């Protein structure tokens, strides 16, 4: 069949065409995937059976007749969970269920942002958000992150500098609880200061909390949304990191004046209801027991990854032992360009996320990389890191030698 030429019909600003998927790399340290062995398949199957038997006929109605905010029992589960874990006092009516928290990004950005607007973000942050800003002509100003998350002094300087230029940022986007990619958790006193600063400049805070269930200790600081007294915080979360990303179920908690704007923009006639029904059925009795087991498994994989890096890279790989999550943010020696390392490693079947794709500052992130340890097996972690070190040595001369395991104690 001849190829019809759609190109002249594409509106200006269309993204470049997607590359065809050619399969997963053998050693995959990319993306925010979960551990396949930890998906509670059998219990989800039982939950699906029970909820379909009981309520399956309600699938005849858009949104299973629970309105545009999504399946009510799941919103009720979330309201109770958010109260217990994050200190958030909200009801099912304050929650909008969405198709993964990526849809939350689009609704929040759709409600608040126009081309030319400015937002403040953590300097190293989630690529999915940076891409959205780039595509929509939004200027993202990065504020450095230290071991306690977003640096408040730098945030104060940034807000003041923007004000001096008459720029009011539309929001501060932060991942305060297990930051992506750095893994940091912002302590309570810094949360208080962040909220004070934001409110003194009249800037809302966009809190992305999708990793907050994955803190090893099981204890997390209260959400910014819970601590706020101004109504200027929007909170989002997801079941992707605690249950499974392919379900595509996330949520927004926000004060009605702005939540109602997002509902008005959600014109997809509701997110998939079956996933919401199964999650509610599964989570209400089982979530609290599932998550600690998931955390233990992830922590074990992290330890395997840190040991493999120590063994293969020695002191050439610098990282902090993160308090939770699924990522390790690794600094390699300055001569390593991780965009190049990424290409060569991929050719050898090892996929990494090069730092510059996860930062507003490509120079700072040039020799950094993000490694996801949740989805590869422990054997794949060990083998993949050995191959990566070999490639890095050939391309950049570091690490100079392997089997530096004795250096581990020295570094930490």
Question: Quick one: which of 320, 287, 318, 299 has its CA closest to 373?
Answer: 299
Pairing of strands 368-372, 353-354: antiparallel
Can you tell me which of 32, 63, 142, 270 binds ligand PLP, judged by CB under 6 A?
32
Decide whether 282 or 313 has the Cβ nearer to ligand PLP.
282
CB of 158 vs ligand PLP, minimal distance in Å: 20
Contact 210, 250 (CB under 8 A): yes
Q: Which residues contact 126 (CB under 8 A, 6 or more apart)?
A: 175, 180, 181, 208, 358
Q: Which residues contact 167 (CB under 8 A, 6 or more apart)?
A: 118
Q: Does 209 bind ligand PLP (CB under 6 A)?
A: no
In the structure encoding, which two tokens stand for residue 349, read together? 């079947």
Choose the stretch contacting ligand PLP; rule: CB under 6 A; options: 99-107, 154-162, 198-206, 263-271. 99-107
Q: Does 101 bind ligand PLP (CB under 6 A)?
A: yes
| Angle subtended at Cα 159 by Cα 156 and Cα 164, rounded to the nearest 5 degrees | 125
Interatomic CA distance for residues 166 and 247, integer angstroms: 43
Choose the stretch contacting ligand PLP; rule: CB under 6 A; options: 216-224, 237-245, 282-290, 314-322. 237-245
Contact 407, 334 (CB under 8 A): no
Q: Does 242 bind ligand PLP (CB under 6 A)?
A: no
Q: Does 27 bind ligand PLP (CB under 6 A)?
A: no
Interatomic CA distance for residues 175 and 181, integer angstroms: 9
Q: Does 183 bind ligand PLP (CB under 6 A)?
A: no
Phi and psi at residue 261, in whole multiples of 5°? -70, -40
Q: What share of the chain is helix, strand, coil (3-state, %, to 5)?
A: 50, 15, 35
Three-state secondary-structure class, residue 177 = strand
Decide whether 248 or 404 has the Cβ nearer to ligand PLP.
248
Choose the stretch contacting ligand PLP; rule: CB under 6 A; options: 98-106, 271-279, 285-293, 308-316. 98-106
Q: Does 208 bind ligand PLP (CB under 6 A)?
A: yes
Choose the stretch contacting ligand PLP; rule: CB under 6 A; options: 83-91, 100-108, 116-124, 373-381. 100-108
Can you tell me which of 175, 205, 332, 336 binds ligand PLP, judged by CB under 6 A?
175
CB of 168 vs ligand PLP, minimal distance in Å: 24
CB of 246 vs ligand PLP, minimal distance in Å: 9
Q: Does 324 bind ligand PLP (CB under 6 A)?
A: no
243-272: which residues touch ligand PLP (CB under 6 A)? 245, 250
Choose the stretch contacting ligand PLP; rule: CB under 6 A; options: 62-70, 96-104, 165-173, 395-403. 96-104
CB of 174 vs ligand PLP, minimal distance in Å: 10
CB of 208 vs ligand PLP, minimal distance in Å: 5
CB of 101 vs ligand PLP, minimal distance in Å: 3
In the structure encoding, which two tokens stand for residue 86, read together? 């994050």
With CB under 6 A as the rule, give the number of residues binding ligand PLP: 14
Contact 354, 369 (CB under 8 A): yes
Q: Does 240 bind ligand PLP (CB under 6 A)?
A: yes
| Angle subtended at Cα 246 by Cα 103 and Cα 36, rounded to the nearest 5 degrees | 145
Decide whether 100 or 399 has the Cβ nearer to ligand PLP.
100
CB of 241 vs ligand PLP, minimal distance in Å: 7
Q: Does 122 bind ligand PLP (CB under 6 A)?
A: no
Q: Does 325 bind ligand PLP (CB under 6 A)?
A: no
Contact 122, 176 (CB under 8 A): no
Question: Quick one: which of 54, 86, 49, 60 has its CA closest to 73?
Answer: 54
Can you tell me which of 27, 71, 77, 126 binds ligand PLP, judged by CB under 6 A?
126
Three-state secondary-structure class, residue 23 = coil
Q: Does 100 bind ligand PLP (CB under 6 A)?
A: yes
Phi and psi at residue 271, in whole multiples of 5°? -80, 160
Which residue blocks in 56-200 are alpha helix, DSSP H?
A: 72-81, 101-112, 127-136, 152-164, 188-200
CB of 213 vs ligand PLP, minimal distance in Å: 12
Decide whether 127 or 402 has the Cβ nearer to ligand PLP.
127
Question: Quick one: which of 37, 74, 11 has its CA closest to 296?
Answer: 37
Q: List contacts with ligand PLP (CB under 6 A).
A: 32, 100-102, 126, 128, 175, 180, 208, 210, 238, 240, 245, 250
């Amino acid at each position: 069949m001849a190829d019809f030429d759609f190109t002249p019909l594409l509106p200006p600003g269309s993204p470049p065409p997607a590359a065809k998927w050619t399969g997963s790399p053998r050693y995959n340290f990319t993306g925010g995937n979960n551990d396949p062995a930890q998906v509670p398949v059998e219990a989800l199957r039982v939950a699906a059976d029970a909820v379909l038997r009981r309520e399956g006929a309600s699938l005849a109605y858009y949104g299973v007749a629970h309105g545009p905010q999504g399946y009510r029992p799941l919103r009720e589960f979330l309201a109770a969970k958010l109260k217990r874990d994050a200190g958030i006092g909200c009801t099912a009516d304050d929650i909008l269920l969405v198709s993964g928290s990526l849809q939350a990004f689009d609704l929040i950005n759709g409600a608040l942002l126009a081309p030319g607007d400015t937002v403040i973000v953590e300097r190293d942050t989630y690529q999915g958000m940076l891409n959205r800003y780039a595509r929509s002509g939004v200027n993202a100003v990065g504020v450095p992150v230290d071991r306690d998350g977003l640096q408040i002094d730098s945030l104060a300087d940034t807000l003041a500098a923007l004000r001096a230029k008459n720029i009011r940022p539309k929001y501060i986007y932060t991942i305060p609880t297990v930051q992506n990619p750095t893994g940091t958790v912002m302590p309570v006193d810094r949360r208080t200061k962040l909220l004070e600063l934001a409110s003194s400049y009249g800037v809302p805070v966009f809190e992305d909390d999708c990793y907050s269930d994955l803190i090893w200790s099981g204890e997390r600081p209260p959400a910014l949304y819970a601590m706020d007294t101004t109504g200027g915080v929007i909170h989002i979360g997801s079941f992707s990191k605690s249950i499974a990303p392919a379900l595509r179920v996330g949520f927004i908690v926000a004060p009605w004046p702005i939540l109602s704007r997002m509902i008005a923009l959600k014109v997809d006639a509701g997110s998939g209801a079956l996933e919401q029904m199964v999650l509610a059925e599964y989570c209400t009795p089982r979530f609290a027991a599932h998550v600690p087991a998931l955390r233990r498994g992830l922590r074990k994989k992290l330890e395997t990854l840190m040991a493999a890096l120590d063994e293969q890279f020695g002191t050439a790989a610098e990282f902090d032992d993160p308090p939770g999550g699924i990522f390790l943010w690794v600094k390699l020696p300055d001569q390593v360009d991780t965009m190049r390392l990424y290409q060569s490693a991929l050719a050898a079947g090892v996929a990494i996320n090069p730092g510059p794709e996860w930062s507003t500052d490509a120079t700072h992130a040039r020799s950094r990389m993000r490694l996801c340890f949740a989805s590869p097996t422990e054997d794949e972690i060990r083998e993949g890191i050995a191959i990566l070190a070999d490639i890095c040595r050939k391309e950049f001369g570091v690490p100079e030698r392997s089997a530096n395991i004795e250096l581990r104690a020295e570094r930490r």
